[in-house]
Structure 1
Amino acid sequence: MTGKGRKITSLTIKQKLEIINLVNQDKISKNEVAKEYNCDISTIHRILRNQKEVELSVTRNNLKRKRLRQSSCNKVENALLQWFDQMRATDAAISNAQILQKAKEFAIKMNCDFEPSSGWLWRWQRRENIQYKKLQGEIADAYHAQAGTFRDSLLKDILKDYEPCNIFNADESGLFYKALPNGTLCKEGGKTQKDHLTLLFLCNADGTFKKVFVIGKPRNSRCFNEKDPPVPYYSQNKAWMTVSLWSMIMKEFDREMGKQKRKVLLFVDNASCHKVNGLCLENVKIEFFPSNTTSVLQPLEQGVIHCFKFYFRKILIRKLILSTEKGESIKEFLNSISILNVLTYIKRSWWLVTSETIKNCFRKAGFPFDGNRFDCIEEVCDTIDIPMEIEEFQEYVACDNNVNCFGTLTDDEIVECVLSEDNEVCQSSEECPTIDLGPPSFAEAINALSIVEKFMECNNIEGDDVDLLEEKLFKRRFKNFHQTNFTSFFN
């Protein structure tokens, strides 16, 4: 058959992302987009169908690439990439010979029939946007800027193009989520110090945007029961922040800012897991604090994280008091705490940290915003409404300040991490309670609320919040029923 064939236009990853944004965000018709990019309408439909795959490819790949070819041994390449990022984060010099040797070692550990070659190395480097650069006397930590110099000379210039709502800070902190105060309260709880999570806090300078991301050991914990966790949760065999997790979170944050049509500035410390070679972000500019100055310059470390832990510890102690009043031992209480419970406590505690606290801590760190400079955290952290001395409680709040949130993985740990991605069963010894009584009924919820209301009446406590909860329960109940008899609500 003769005739003029269709012209095939190959689009780069960057162009595909632009097309997705034009159609989904700017609401431009597909025909107009096809005409602008000189391609067929079917190409536009195919790009939109594969939107998730295109967006995920941006994390590492060269945006000028036009195809996403898969390697014959992806697991080896994934392990090699984690090793490469980890080495470069420490400013280590890496040669091609080292990469080939390490790829061969990973193939043997993973029982893959794979022999790395120079041609494969060239293709892998192109796929992962890795470029060879000659070192010119590169010395790690050659420049140690003092916090005062950074604040007085550099910070104002860095911030000049950004409003406070578009200036962000992110920082990790460890959390012993089952730790109890020292003394007789926790004689049975010595083992709880091993139960920890890593939390990544993210907020902007005016406190209008704040998120927390949680990293734990359990992969598919039974307590989730196919439910979405209350806050973003990621699994890592040491509950550490890694280069791959950081890249994943940053890409999601970048997409969220893109949907809001915002260009933002993110300040982070010089942790090795934050230094990602080839990380492509369209809407987020990452600025690193000078080495050894984060304890002074990092806003989250000026009291925001401390306030969060203050609220978290108060919630945990209150739950312990309720448990003991029901006749449960401390061991039974600790065993009853699931990851899902903890994520709920984390969400609540982070919500309780006010925007004013966040603003104050940015000012304390030296960010030149309007308002008074505060040298102390919110007054709420000076008073507690639980039976403990304030000094003892503050010491308890700070019990996990020195927990490692990241580290260097061995080759075997990298292999285990890559292979575990295909494992659907949680290998952690930490399990949730096996007894599942199901959700309480509407009648049980109303009955429990009436008991609370009676208790408040007997103790002269205003019950406005109880009335509000009752209203919410009835609204939810009526929402699930249409044109039914009144008595059926109590059956």
Structure 2
Amino acid sequence: HGESASADMTAVNDGRTEVQPVLDGYNPVDVYSMDEAGLFYCLGPSAALSTNEVRGTKISKERILQLLFSPAISGKKFNLSIYFTYAGGSKAWMTSKEFQIWLSDVDHQMQLQEHKIVLLVDNAPSHQVGELELRNVTIHYLPLNTTSHIQPMDTGIIKDFKLHYTKQLVQLYINCAEENKAQTVDLQQALQFVERAWDSVCLTTTVNCWQHVNTMATTVSNAERASEKEKDVALAQLAEL
């Protein structure tokens, strides 16, 4: 939290200069980024329309960690069969073991599809490949203290994902209130919400975030934009409801 404001812009510009020639050798559909996002999955909004103060409410600290993985152009061109997996941990942190298991699965899927990609990740200790041999995935680590500006996930994709999750959680809590039930969500429901929220992040959002970080030239066809308009209309209807 607050990393963007404290980032060294000289390092950010140098980071872009470093990353751009790496990505220039790839087609945009072959460029992916990955990042984690913590989610307090039981925690509803901290404010409401009511002006009455709510006293004695304990804030839920139950947390899950998402590993979000997205291409620069389209999430539908290459679909992984390992789409949604769950692993338990005492602190809900990413570990190098879990990262390597996930990365090995991705590499295997890309081999089956005869598809080679480059994957942008931040240089965290948990993201080390170790002795893992990758055939179809090339890892490129982003420079230190630059990810808030040149990691597409951090410039809007994760935020959009969390908004879609919160919409579902709020609707659930409203339904519970109308039916005079306790406003709770279990882990199974939360994981279903996570999957739907990620599906709801539209192509336009992804492309705009990649263009914002300015590390590669991304384009999207009119046909792809038209297909995304239908999803945008559905979201607008949900917001109105």
Q: Shorter chain as normaliser: what TM range?
A: 0.7 to 0.9
Question: 1:145–1:290: 8 Å Cα contact kept in structure 2?
Answer: no
**Equivalent of residue 255 in structure 1, options 83, 108, 120:** 108
Alignment partner, residue 352 of structure 1: 200
Percent sequence identity is 28
Alignment partner, residue 63 of structure 2: 196
Alignment partner, residue 169 of structure 2: 316
Aligned residue identity for 2:239: D
- Which deviations, in whole Å up to 9, do the C-alpha atoms of 1:136-155 show, x marking residues without a partner? xxxxxxxx97111232x332
| Matches of 2:10 and 2:112, distance apart in 1 | 36
Question: 1:202–1:210: 8 Å Cα contact kept in structure 2?
Answer: no
- Which deviations, in whole Å up to 9, do the C-alpha atoms of 1:374-396 show, x marking residues without a partner? xxxxx999998379xxxxxxxxx
TM-score by length of 2: 0.80
- Which deviations, in whole Å up to 9, do the C-alpha atoms of 1:172-198 show, x marking residues without a partner? 010000002225697565241x10000
* 1:242 to 2:92 alignment: no
- Which deviations, in whole Å up to 9, do the C-alpha atoms of 1:65-104 show, x marking residues without a partner? xxxxxxxxxxxxxxxxxxxxxxxxxxxxxxxxxxxxxxxx
| Matches of 2:12 and 2:211, distance apart in 1 | 14
Alignment partner, residue 183 of structure 2: 333
CA separation of 1:252 and 1:169: change in aligned 2, threshold 3 A? same
Q: Which deviates more, 279-288 or 155-164?
A: 155-164
Alignment partner, residue 385 of structure 1: 239
Query: Going by fraction, where is strand more abundant, 1 or 2?
Result: 2
Q: SS where residue 285 of structure 1 aligns?
A: strand
Q: Which has the higher Rg, Structure 1 or Structure 2?
A: 1
Aligned residue identity for 2:69: L
Alignment partner, residue 153 of structure 2: 300
Question: 1:170–1:203: 8 Å Cα contact kept in structure 2?
Answer: yes
CA separation of 1:187 and 1:283: change in aligned 2, threshold 3 A? farther
TM-score by length of 1: 0.40
Q: Which deviates more, 230-239 or 273-282?
A: 230-239
**Equivalent of residue 170 in structure 1, options 31, 34, 45:** 34
| Matches of 1:147 and 1:383, distance apart in 2 | 39
CA separation of 1:365 and 1:384: change in aligned 2, threshold 3 A? farther
The answer to which structure, 1 or 2, has the higher relative contact order (CA under 8 A, 6+ apart) is 2
Q: CA-atom RMSD, angstroms?
A: 2.9
Aligned residue identity for 1:311: H
| Matches of 2:113 and 2:55, distance apart in 1 | 50
CA separation of 1:370 and 1:272: change in aligned 2, threshold 3 A? closer
| Matches of 2:240 and 2:178, distance apart in 1 | 14
**Equivalent of residue 231 in structure 1, options 59, 73, 84:** 84
Question: 1:269–1:288: 8 Å Cα contact kept in structure 2?
Answer: yes
Residue-pair matches, total: 214
**Equivalent of residue 180 in structure 1, options 35, 40, 44:** 44
Aligned residue identity for 1:180: G
Question: 1:230–1:344: 8 Å Cα contact kept in structure 2?
Answer: no
| Matches of 2:92 and 2:63, distance apart in 1 | 7
- Which deviations, in whole Å up to 9, do the C-alpha atoms of 1:111-145 show, x marking residues without a partner? xxxxxxxxxxxxxxxxxxxxxxxxxxxxxxxxx97
| Matches of 1:310 and 1:286, distance apart in 2 | 29
Aligned residue identity for 1:345: F
Aligned residue identity for 1:326: E
Aligned residue identity for 2:198: W
Residue 159 of structure 1: how far off its partner (Å):
1.3
Gap regions ≥5 residues in structure 2? 1-8, 221-231
Aligned residue identity for 2:183: F
CA separation of 1:187 and 1:339: change in aligned 2, threshold 3 A? farther
Alignment partner, residue 157 of structure 1: 21
Alignment partner, residue 289 of structure 1: 142
* 1:367 to 2:215 alignment: yes
Aligned residue identity for 2:58: G
CA separation of 1:185 and 1:302: change in aligned 2, threshold 3 A? farther
CA separation of 1:230 and 1:296: change in aligned 2, threshold 3 A? closer
